[in-house]
Homo-oligomer: A and B are copies of this chain.
Amino acid sequence: MRYRMEGATVITLDGKRTIYAPGQLTWENGEIISVGPEDSDPTPVDQLILLTDAYLLPGLINGHNHAAMALLRGVADDSPLFEWLQDHIFPLEAKLTAEDIYIGTLLACAEMIHGGTVGFADMYFHVDQVAQAVEQAGLRAWIARGITGDAETGQQSLKESLEFAAKWREHRRITPMLGPHAPYTVSFDLLEQVASAAQTYDLSIHIHLAESPQEIADLAQRKTTPFALASAAGLLSSRILIAHGTHVSPSDVDYLAGIRGGIITCPVSNAKLGNGILPYAMLRDAGIMVGLGTDGPASTNSLDMFLEMKAMAWLQKLAGGRPETFRADEALTAATTGTASVLGHSGGQLAVGRPADFIVVGRRSAHLIPEHDPIANLVYAAQSKDVRYTVVDGQILMAEGIITAFDEQAVMVEAESRAKMLIS
């Protein structure tokens, strides 16, 4: 089947930042086969979708998630962090069944599809169920089983990670990763084993690093930093997705120069948990890739990349002390090609041969009128509910706000019921 959408303002985010207004995009077998001004491709198609008053742009890619935690959205919110984790989140997670995680992930996928997210990097457990939910929902995902413990207690989670990778690595939309949780939950020797396994099995790594001031202080007592430790363990020799990285220091930049991968900043989570603001300008100037993610919905309460773009821009301008220190375009880039680059994925821009992963955002709403600057409108004013179409691997997962890939209403009912059971 060959498809075309025509009539929207097509924002390619390619190297030249080309915008076709109005433009067209044609795709087949999950791949973009032409993009350009309206009427620029005369080849016939099987389905033509005419759009007016809309932006067509690359789908957003959520670089850090614990999707199934959607079931725990809002639990004991605004509590002190340690109390929140020890008294609420950890006991509830211990009760989560594989089926809970399947439904929780599907609920999260529904939210992401509505919000124009086409793919996400996830770290959680019962990852077979995470992958099954992703397969059903139609999204793209980079999935890591969280690895914790020491060389002894952590073997089971490493073994499960490798079994998962062997089972799913050929899937068209799913990429397994290795997920050593964090320097404070994984022993150094287990980090070394993970680094070695990443090399042996050609897997990328997803890890939390430098999220909180506490983590930096704890590692300082061991005379190291999260980045020095990751480097010493060999983790930086493979492609690596560093979640947060909020407290990266100028001297840490040396460890990051030249790595494959980069940092996924989660500004809403970092602000809401009081953790801080990423020194983005320093990383940008050093040429280090920065993508964008939401973190899990238990801490951020939503999986809304439109909110994350706003939060990133607001916090960076606040940190810079001047409006010109961060541009709307940088937030949109982080949410698309930024995350894609960290993951080594060719998505995040619209060009021939790239994946047909894109979204359509309606602009016929008072809050998007007038249109002096489409990028400013998308980043500063658009809401995730403005998304009309979400297309992944060429499949239309949502059309005019209706998810076609699965029964979203049934998932919401089931998720609500399981969530209530969990806390009862």
Contacts and interface: CB of A to CB of B under 8 A. Distances in A.
A223 to B, nearest CB: 25
A381 B314 contact: no
Contact of A271 (B110, B317, B327): B317
Given A366-B111, A415-B369, A383 B381 contact: no
Nearest to A53: B412
A194 to B, nearest CB: 30
A385 interface: yes
A133 to B, nearest CB: 13
A386 to B, nearest CB: 7
Contacts of A411: 366
Interface stretch (A8-16, A21-29, A67-75): A67-75
B74 A373 contact: yes
A106 to B, nearest CB: 9
A254 interface: no
B274 A367 contact: no
Contacts of A386: 385
A419 B370 contact: yes
Contacts of A271: 314-315, 317-318
Nearest to A413: B369
B377 A74 contact: yes
B370 A71 contact: yes
Interface stretch (A78-86, A173-181, A237-245): A78-86
A271 B213 CA distance: 22
A107 B369 contact: yes
Contact of A79 (B70, B277, B323, B381): B323
B307 A107 contact: no
Nearest to A327: B78
Interface string A312-344: 011101101111111110000000000000000
Interface string A346-376: 0000000000000000001111011111001
A307 B313 CA distance: 13
A373 B72 CA distance: 10
Nearest to A75: B372
Contacts of A304: 367, 381, 383
Interface of A: 70-75, 77-81, 84, 107-108, 110-111, 114-115, 213, 268, 270-274, 276-277, 300-304, 307, 310-311, 313-315, 317-318, 320-328, 364-367, 369-373, 376-377, 380-381, 383-386, 408, 411-412, 415-416, 419-420, 423
